[in-house]
Amino acid sequence: EAAVTQSPRNKVAVTGGKVTLSCNQTNNHNNMYWYRQDTGHGLRLIHYSYGAGSTEKGDIPDGYKASRPSQENFSLILELATPSQTSVYFCASGDDWGGSWETLYFGSGTRLTVL
Amino acid sequence: GQQVQQSPASLVLQEGENAELQCSFSISTNQVQWFYQRPGGRLIGLSYIPGMKPTGKQTSSTVTKGRHSSLTISSSQTTDSGTYFCVLRAGANTGKLTFGHGTILRVHP
């Protein structure tokens, strides 16, 4: 079973502060994703990556940066956190197989509260 | 962008009953997958290929055709309670995924 580990599990930050959410996967997947989950919105894609050194904007990238320094690690950075960024953040990794649909492996989530 | 609509928004079953969850989307594609999330838990993929039995839960199946996909849960159990998401990929060569808002399923004993 693919393993995706997120840290921290819970985070309280102050408005205007910098927050870094980390994600590590041990299955050599090329693709990694950051989502946020809010009531009434489901999961929304923030940033994703096709491999080390690459980052792509998702549907709601404003206010977030991403970094993929290696195959295993993908970080989400909030340079100036705002209360509207209070949410649960999920990281996922996946890979294409035989040209068919990939499946995603999700981490357990990080609950971020911005005061 | 592409839209993914799921119905119903919520559903209550008695253990042993069957249910069919619906998903419709704005483009015709077979790049669809269903995910399950227990309350407060991580999301788990239910199906790899449309029409095939998904891994991890052998009493459900999916059908995807055109702009529609459905997930059938057979002989429901209380452990099936949670939220089911329909997920669409824009194309075979993109990693960009769109989630529906989910169907909340509660199975009572």
pLDDT, tens digit, 9 for 90 and up, residues A17-64: 999 999 999 988 888 999 999 987 788 999 999 899 999 999 899 999
Distance from CA of A71 to the nearest CA of B (A): 16
Contacts of A50 in chain B (CB under 8 A): 95
Alpha helices in chain B (DSSP H): none
pLDDT, tens digit, 9 for 90 and up, residues B35-46: 899 888 888 888
DSSP code, position B90 = S
By the CB < 8 Å criterion, does A93 face chain B? no
Say if the Cβ atoms of B95 and A33 lie within 8 Å: yes
Count CB-CB contacts under 10 A for residue A14.
10
Domain boundaries, chain B: 4-108
CATH of A4-114, one of 1.20.1260.10, 2.60.40.10, 3.30.365.10, 3.30.300.30: 2.60.40.10
d(CA B83, CA B81): 7
- 3-state SS, residue B79: helix
**Residue A85 — φ and ψ, nearest 5°?**
-95, 5
Q: Which fold has domain B4-108?
A: Immunoglobulin-like (2.60.40)
In this structure, which amino acid lies at residue A5? T
Domain boundaries, chain A: 4-114
Can you read off the two tokens belonging to residue B108?
Answer: 């009572």
